[in-house]
Structure 1
Amino acid sequence: MGDSIQVLIKDYKNGNKEIFLLIADKMEPLISKYVRLLYKDEKEDMHSEFVLCLLEAVNTMGYYQEEGQCIYFLSRALKNRFLELYKKSKLHYDSESVVEDEFFSKIDINQSEYEDFIFLEDLKELIRKEDGKQYDILCNIIFKDESDAVIAKKNQVSRQYVNRVRKNFYQLLKEKYFN
């Protein structure tokens, strides 16, 4: 296990196919991270998907002379596979879900920012748990960035009520992400 990724890839490319297990061991922390972040799929299957992706990446590598470039190439391949699997998983989950909201489908998400994508999905799930006026108020606060007075007038509630809904939601976010 003391060899660098670059040396292991060279050995693998020179015909020692058993070395791939050592490469997979070196990349295991990143694979485990992506398996943990996946939506609601079978963890063992997802782990196998990432190991297969790693094998494909190693086989397609043309340049493996520098350690940093090897690690970057492999981690980028795993990240791209994560984004693809996450998107498929999310589509599958949403197709089974009864709740469909046109408002959320209009939001454009940059795939290269997967952390923002996951956070946005968490926000959507938190908002969907609310009902009626609170749901409308939170959508206006988060996605339309409207003032309390405008939201209150739209929903025929007091400005203080809108502020209270905002504070309660921020407290929920604080508990979820910082505690």
Structure 2
Amino acid sequence: MGESVHVIIEEIKKGNKEKFLLIIDKMTPLINKYVRLLYKDEKEDMHSEFVLSLLEAINSMQYYKEDGQCVYFLSRALKNKFLEQYKKSKQHFDAEASVEDEFFTEISMDQPVYDDWLFHEDLKTMLLKTEGKQAVILWDIVFHEESDAVIAERHSVSRQYVNRVRRNFYNLLKENYYK
């Protein structure tokens, strides 16, 4: 079965850095779980981040005499790193979404541009070209101005799908009106 975790950590603390690979091996399933849960593009970078957090956790450990406590400490370190990365990822995603929302507010219903009959007809034509859930989702986006989460819940789709529909529509509007 191999060496116990607390013995491996003790050897790492004494200077045997090659034993760190054994810890990585033991914690790989948890690392892979957290990497999968993040919706970041760079999975390999995220894996490296978690490995580094393991190394930092081992270097900061003061008590390493029992396996259970060592595994718990390392698990908590990985979980804290996941929460930190998730918050960063969410902030980045929200910032991207707000930039897209700012574009769309330029052509909202309250502004004179929307009152232009041709634009209104073009908008209807674009919406009529879509079918199924996309059409209903676009209708909610354009005329009800609801958040992605609310629309996703109502139509039983993911928030990412709603966001993708929104972005594709924005890109179509950009192509037609801002070239």
TMscore range, shorter length = 0.5 to 0.7
Does 2:40 align with 1:53? no
**Does structure 1 residue 95 correspond to structure 2 residue 87?**
no
The aligned residue for residue 32 of structure 1 is 32
User: Counterpart of 1:77?
Assistant: 77
Q: Which has the larger radius of gyration?
A: 2
TM-score, length basis structure 2 = 0.58
Q: Identify the range of structure 1 (10-19 vs 74-83) with the bigger mean alpha-carbon deviation.
A: 10-19
Paired with 2:7 and 2:20, the residues of 1 have a C-alpha distance of 11
- Aligned residues, how many? 121
Separation (CA, whole Å) in 2 of partners of 1:71 and 1:129:
50
1:109 alignment counterpart:
none
The 1:22/1:129 distance shift into structure 2, 3 A limit, reads: farther
Q: Structure 1 CA distance, aligned partners of 2:56 and 2:44?
A: 18
Which consecutive segments of 4 or more residues in structure 1 shift more than 4 A?
A: 127-130, 132-136
Q: Where does structure 1 lack aligned partners over 5 or more consecutive residues?
A: 102-126, 140-164, 174-179
Aligned CA distance change for structure 1 residues 38 and 130 (closer, same or farther; 3 Å): farther
Q: Which residue of 2 aligns with 1:3?
A: 3
What's the Cα RMSD here? Answer: 3.2
Amino acid at match of 2:2: G
Q: Given the superposition, is the C-alpha separation of residues 97 and 134 from structure 1 closer, same or farther in structure 2, using an over 3 Å criterion?
A: closer
Taking a change above 3 Å as real, the CA distance of residues 97 and 30 of structure 1, as seen in their structure-2 partners, is: same
Instruction: Write the distance in 2 (CA, Å) between the matches of 1:76 and 1:22.
Output: 18
Counting aligned pairs with the same residue, the percent is 61
What's the TM-score once normalised by structure 1's chain length?
Answer: 0.58
Quick one: distance in 2 between partners of 1:8 and 1:100?
51
Q: Tell me the amino acid that sits aligned with residue 83 of structure 1.
A: L
For 2:82 and 2:3, the matched residues in 1 are separated by 27
User: Which structure 2 segments of 5+ residues have no match?
Assistant: 103-136, 158-179
CA distance in 2, matches of 1:42, 1:129: 33
Q: Distance in 1 between matches of 2:77 and 2:101?
A: 32
**Cα pair distance change 1:81/1:22, threshold 3 Å:** same
Distance 1:128 1:67 in 2: 54
Q: 1:172 to 1:24 in 2, by over 3 A?
A: same
